[in-house]
């Protein structure tokens, strides 16, 4: 019996890439690969890339340069680039870095086994198509091996919104939803393997239409699965937050009181320039309705500062929106151009202006996050314990509000939900005791 080949996958970007990397590993598992944690003795290295952040392609080429010595020491090592940078760059990756053996886009990774055969025969393999076949139909059924208590599950891909700053419609394609039957089957398999919490993923997850009643209908179907105790979803668009989904937040016990709902800017002028198709008042009304349904909801968001044309008043409108809404968690970034997007053609703001605004926004968001964490001290939360902490006898898990919680507890609590009283708020986490 031949020794298994070793596969190292480096994953960049969002949770959807984490899910995709798992499926890539499973697809190549059928070709005799086992996944390893370092690239040093791997037989194949896959970089699953993200194209959202600034200079994403250049960072990929820089990382490939670091793998060059490994390739020189082990000529049979195969190196592949997957994901959104692969989709955007295509054959240009091999032209700039000839040591790359395969390039595969995010909609084509189910073809990896055939591509692996080609590269083993000394050929180069490139596939950045948007294939007609459903990659999820083609992929092997997920293995039943024991898993950790949480898992991601992609239900929707692509986006039809065409925000002026975003490359997702070009790298992931149009919105596509997986049929509910396949999602429910995969979810049941995950639960049988030990998963207790599933996060439903999509570039625009609340635009899911694989169930006749949308994402809310899917959530209620998942609610019926014995052993599945928690449901989350990300990332959402305000325009697709329908009445049924709002109601589910108030009535479905398994749907956690945490919502990531990006707004990007608090200025109507900038929202229009971004092609977001909603106003700040639309967002306010939506948040009020969701909080009426679930008063203890912890809200998360995304913000871009320095979008072309943003004035001091536009930025102050964003700060005002943040003060009005109050976020328990949020992510903020300086605008960076993406070639091929409408905003890339517009005059860019000076970097020093963007830096100053980002610092001010992050200070306000941090203040709100700290206040939210401090408000948890003395309260009881439900924690799904996932792993051991660095200190002996300590376990770490997530509360229903997605806070990381540390507690002194036996290893046996892993994979279970326990009540915990919060004693202390720390940087980016909470400390508590079992009740």
Q: Tell me the mean pLDDT in the region 30-34.
A: 90
Among 230, 84, 232, CA closest to 155:
232
HEC string for 294-344: CCCCEEEEEEEECCCCCCHHHHHHHHHHHHHHCCCEEEEEECCCCCCCHHH
List the end-to-end C-alpha distance of the chain, in Å, as a whole number: 51
- pLDDT, residue 7, reads 96
Instruction: Give the number of C-alpha atoms closer than 13 A to the C-alpha of residue 37, restricted to the C-beta side.
Output: 0
- pLDDT, residue 59, reads 82
Domain for residue 318, yes or no? yes
Domain for residue 135, yes or no? no
Element (H, E) at 381: strand 380-388
Residue 341, domain CATH: 3.30.750.200
Mean confidence (pLDDT) of the chain:
92
Q: CA 159 to CA 201: how far, in whole Å?
A: 13
Residue 252 known to bind ligand: no
Asked if 323 and 421 sit in the same domain, the reply is: no
Above 70 in pLDDT, residue 171? yes
- pLDDT, residue 16, reads 82
The strands making up 44-49's β-sheet, listed across from edge to edge, are 33-35, 5-11, 44-49, 78-83, 102-104, 125-127
For the record, the structure tokens of 163 come out as 């925000």
Confidence of residue 53 (pLDDT cuts 50, 70, 90): low
Asked if 148 and 250 sit in the same domain, the reply is: yes
Which of 35-49, 55-69, 377-391 bottoms out in mean pLDDT, i.e. has the lowest? Answer: 55-69
Q: Tell me the mean pLDDT in the region 56-65.
A: 84
Asked if 250 and 150 sit in the same domain, the reply is: yes
Angle between helix 180-192 and 214-222 (nearest 10): 30
- pLDDT, residue 328, reads 97
- pLDDT, residue 239, reads 96
For the record, the structure tokens of 210 come out as 């694989």
Confidence of residue 131 (pLDDT cuts 50, 70, 90): low
3-state SS class at 62? helix
Residue 84 known to bind ligand: yes
Residue 239, domain CATH: 3.30.750.210
Residue 385, domain CATH: 2.40.50
Residue 433's CB is within 10 A of a number of other CB atoms, namely: 11
Q: CA 313 to CA 277: how far, in whole Å?
A: 20
Above 60 in pLDDT, residue 181? yes
Q: How many domains does the chain have?
A: 4
Asked if 196 and 306 sit in the same domain, the reply is: no
Q: CA 103 to CA 79: how far, in whole Å?
A: 9
Asked if 45 and 106 sit in the same domain, the reply is: yes
Q: CA 196 to CA 397: how far, in whole Å?
A: 12
Among the candidates 375, 392, 424, a domain finishes at: 375
- pLDDT, residue 145, reads 56
272, 278 Cβ separation under 8 angstroms: no
Among the candidates 360, 375, 390, a domain finishes at: 375
Domain for residue 265, yes or no? no
- pLDDT, residue 139, reads 65
pTM given for the model: 0.83
Confidence of residue 345 (pLDDT cuts 50, 70, 90): confident
Give percent above pLDDT 90 in the chain. 74
Question: Do β-strands 380-388 and 417-426 pair in parallel, antiparallel, or remain unpaired?
Answer: antiparallel
Residue 18, domain CATH: 3.40.50.12160
Number of H helices, E strands in the chain: 14, 19
- pLDDT, residue 135, reads 58
DSSP for 79-146, written as a single string: EEEEEHHHHHHTTHHHHH-TT--EEE-TT-GGGHHHHHHHHHTT--EEE----SS-HHHHSPPPP---
For the record, the structure tokens of 344 come out as 């890339």
Asked if 192 and 149 sit in the same domain, the reply is: yes
> Which domain range does residue 178 map to?
141-256
- pLDDT, residue 166, reads 85
- pLDDT, residue 57, reads 76
DSSP for 148-181, written as a single string: -SEEEEE-EE--S---TT--HHHHT-S-EE--HH
267-317, pLDDT tens digit by residue? 999 999 999 999 999 999 999 999 999 999 999 999 999 999 999 999 999
SS3 of the chain: helix, strand, coil, percent, to 5: 40, 25, 40
Q: CA 249 to CA 109: how far, in whole Å?
A: 34
Q: Tell me the mean pLDDT in the region 389-394.
A: 91
Confidence of residue 402 (pLDDT cuts 50, 70, 90): very high
Contacts of 159 (CB under 8 A, 6+ apart): 166, 168, 169, 172, 174, 175, 203, 204, 207
Whose tokens are 């959530």? That residue is: 219
Asked if 161 and 246 sit in the same domain, the reply is: yes
Q: Tell me the mean pLDDT in the region 125-143.
A: 68
Confidence of residue 132 (pLDDT cuts 50, 70, 90): low
Q: Which residues of 224-241 are buried (b: 16+ CB within 10 A; e: fewer)?
A: ebeebbbbbbbbbbbbbb
Residue 50 known to bind ligand: yes
- pLDDT, residue 70, reads 93
Q: Tell me the mean pLDDT in the region 191-205.
A: 95
């Amino acid at each position: 019996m031949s020794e298994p080949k070793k596969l190292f996958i480096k994953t960049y970007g969002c949770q959807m890439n984490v899910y995709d990397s798992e499926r890539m590993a499973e697809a190549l598992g059928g070709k005799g690969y086992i996944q390893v944690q370092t690239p040093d003795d791997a037989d194949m290295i896959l970089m699953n890339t993200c194209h959202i952040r600034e200079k994403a392609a250049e960072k990929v080429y820089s990382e490939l340069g670091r793998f060059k010595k490994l390739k020189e020491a082990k000529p049979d090592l195969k190196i592949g680039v997957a994901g959104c940078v692969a989709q955007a760059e295509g054959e240009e990756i091999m032209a700039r870095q000839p040591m790359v053996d395969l390039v595969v886009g995010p909609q084509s990774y189910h073809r990896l086994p055939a591509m692996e055969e080609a590269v083993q025969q000394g050929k180069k393999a490139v596939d950045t198509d948007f294939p007609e076949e459903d990659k999820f139909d083609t992929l092997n059924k997920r293995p039943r091996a024991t898993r950790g208590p949480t898992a991601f599950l992609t239900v929707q891909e692509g986006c039809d919104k065409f925000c002026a700053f975003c490359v997702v419609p070009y790298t992931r394609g149009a919105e596509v939803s997986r049929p509910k039957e396949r999602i429910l089957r995969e979810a049941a398999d995950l639960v049988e393997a030990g998963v207790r919490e599933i996060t439903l993923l999509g570039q625009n997850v609340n635009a899911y239409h694989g169930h006749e009643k949308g994402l809310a209908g899917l959530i209620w179907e998942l609610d019926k699965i014995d052993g599945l105790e928690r449901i989350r979803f990300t990332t959402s668009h305000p325009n697709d937050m329908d009445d049924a989904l709002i109601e589910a937040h108030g009535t479905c016990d398994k749907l956690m009181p945490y919502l990531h709902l990006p707004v990007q800017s608090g200025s109507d002028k900038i929202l229009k320039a971004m092609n977001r198709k909603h106003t700040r008042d639309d967002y306010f009304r939506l948040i009020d309705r969701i909080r009426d349904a679930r008063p203890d909801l912890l809200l998360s968001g995304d913000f871009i500062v320095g979008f072309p044309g943003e004035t001091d008043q536009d930025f102050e409108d964003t700060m005002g929106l943040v003060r009005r809404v109050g976020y328990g968690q949020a992510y903020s970034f300086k605008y960076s151009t993406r070639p091929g997007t409408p905003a890339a053609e517009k005059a860019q703001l000076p970097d020093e202006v963007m830096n100053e605004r980002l610092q001010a926004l992050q200070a306000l968001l941090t203040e709100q996050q700290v206040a939210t964490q401090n408000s948890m001290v003395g309260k009881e939360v439900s924690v799904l314990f996932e792993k051991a902490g660095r200190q002996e006898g300590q376990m770490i898990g997530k509360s229903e509000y997605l806070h990381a919680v540390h507690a002194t507890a036996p290893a046996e609590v892993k994979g279970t939900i326990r009540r915990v009283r919060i004693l202390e708020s720390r940087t980016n986490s909470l400390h508590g005791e079992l009740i």
